[in-house]
Amino acid sequence: MTSAHVVPTRDWFARDAVDVAPLLLGAVLSHETAEGRVSVRLAEVEAYRGVGEDPGSHAFRGRTVRNAPMFGEGGHLYAYFTYGMHVCLNVVTGVPGAASAVLLRGGTVVEGLELARMRRPGASDRDLARGPARMSTALGVPLAATGADLLAAPFSLRVAQPAPVGAAGPRTGVSGPGGGGAFPWRFVVPGDPGVSAYRRHARSED
């Protein structure tokens, strides 16, 4: 089935991250810079809830300078550093104050392939955006973009209607009480080449 892509309304994001996450499968996120435009079709995402609800979430213990965008309006970007060197991208969901977001874990470059290749020299086309840090590099999104509106330039986000049917499972790389089968909030498009390799315990959200 071929999906059409539409720009969502602001209200579209004003739902639980677990509800929004599977609807982001097949969506196309674009970022425009002076170098050009790169677009990625999403194939893997993870939902994270807010204060006191989700031990794997940056917002679990409350608001900080870093996670402040998670407490804002849906449809904005929450970007953070991991391992002190890689940028990961999240779509903020819910209503202001609720602190929830969807981590963008993997996808395929569908526009700006040459630019993405230049940003990730030596990577295969399949691996250009297959993983959260790879995706942010291919798109050229810096940490300073955290809080940006994904529905306004230099970003564009178009969701698939209908979204492809996804499969749910435990979040990848989340150790401790936030991992495991208690939080089956990783959603993937089965068989899509943009889905990253599953890692049970490789990182902590803190």
pLDDT bin (cut points 50, 70, 90) of residue 41 is very high
Question: Distance between CA atoms of 131 and 143, rounded to whole angstroms?
Answer: 16
Closest by alpha carbon to 160, among 11, 15, 22, 19? 22
Q: How far apart are CA 73 and CA 11, in angstroms?
A: 10
Q: What share of the chain is helix, strand, coil (3-state, %, to 5)?
A: 20, 30, 50
pLDDT digits (tens, 9 = 90+) for 75-104: 999 999 987 679 999 999 999 999 999 999
Domains in the chain with CATH codes = 4-177 (3.10.300.10)
As to burial, measured by CB atoms within 10 angstroms (0-12 exposed, 13-18 middle, 19+ buried), residue 182 is exposed
pLDDT given at position 203: 41
Output the pTM of the full model.
0.92
Give me the pLDDT at residue 172, please: 83
How far is it, in rounded angstroms, from Cα 193 to Cα 206? 29
**Which single residue is written with the structure tokens 């409350």?**
62
Higher-pLDDT residue of 141, 196: 141
CA angle 164, 98, 45 (to 5 degrees): 25
Residue with the larger pLDDT of the pair 172 and 139 = 139
133 sits in which H/E element: helix 132-139
Of 7-11, 120-124, 148-152, 169-173, the one with minimum mean pLDDT is: 169-173
pLDDT beyond 50 at 176: yes
